[in-house]
A and B are shown apart, each in its own frame.
Chain A
């Protein structure tokens, strides 16, 4: 219940939301007392039917055709510019050349992709765990809030690229400095969203928990944590894309493998097709991981998704 005051956008949003919810729900109670309004009886009215497989496929196709179209247009434009040599080939290769490089050097590229993927995933998982623990500490304890927030903020504002060489000096050329960079860069959005989510609990629900004689752990597990999940998942989506950046930056500074390392090599050799192939793989890592987090979100908080779906039915 203690509303600590530290001015971040996330917390502000959280309190705003709680306020809005409070004012929004006080209305109907008033209105109903006036006189009889026709309302659904206890037994009629039904729930929306569960989506069938066919419907889901249609929904998937419906959600995919727009991005697919944009991608197609993009590749067509790229191919057009490169094939007509409006830009010299050593600067922008054709999609065909990139494809050829990708297939002919696939085993090498796959190995480097796996290295970067490994660093990214490990960095992301660690950032998520540390970020969540930090968020809980900040949301629950005023003292820890005051103590940890400056450190968290410091870790965020320090330019990661500037400390990358230092990390290499400390931890060598192995995977460790890359993973640390990924953690450092992905940590902040997890903390901010976690704190916002945990603070967004309706005070009335906490009052309710208190009258049920529940301890802090039960209240956390049954009320505060599930309530924070939508916020938290949003933060994790940002974090996972940033973790890729962290890993690649780490590889730039000193590495003998990974997509960042390949990028530097390709750049040095003016090997544009390899450079492009490398960029595509980097983006692919980010996109795949992002989609995985989105799927996890849909599985973890179906109530949130169904609510959003209900809203979009009326607005789109």
Chain B
């Protein structure tokens, strides 16, 4: 990349981040149709068709005009999570705690998956759905387990929709989810800078800044991103109430979402829900910058490989064999 091009790129980022109006400017520039789309989003957001109290309308109004999470001050972050908690109470009558824990210093999260051990039980998938409040109506899942023929290592050749007793003899199982690439093409694709990599390596989405254009999904070479077609319907008694702004909080309709390494858990030292649920211990998670961590042991002592290594996306998700 030439330095001139780099400068250009930099200005665009600054434009988008610092001028609140440029998100709309982008849409205008891209196409009139898209601008119309954005208007529709705005209208739906502010729609007063349902009876809402003045207090709720005020909160929604303030929510609509907030900044991108990345340039919010700590005070603004605290304000928005408080607003969101109050809105959850008003709209759905649920008591949620939305955190905004910052990344832990000297931590870079990494993940390893043992393809010799996984037996395809998919308990990780159900745990993830529950933890991250995924839409039950469309059966959204961040994790996909592929049943693979021996010798194959590309999940696209496997069966991602099996339903029979597992493990099947002579098959093996391979999990895929967002790999939190160090050089993530999805981030470059986003026209509104609604998705980025946090210092602890987690690739996140600001659900309020996302316009639902799905460019990032098209750019992801893996099976990382999920588009939220619905309202995220979760039975009230099943809602995970410990949430994070960048994690499992309620997503507005028409936004992009994906695995966040359970940011609401892992920033507090807990394991992601999938790791905790895995009955075979195929999932290893930890701090890549800790030479004594389990993940580093795997990287040092096991034969590891990553999916589509050659395209240079540098996923922080390694497969390994015993």
Is chain B found bound to chain A in the same assembly? no
Write the residues of chain B forming the contact surface with A, with a CB cutoff of 8 angstroms: none
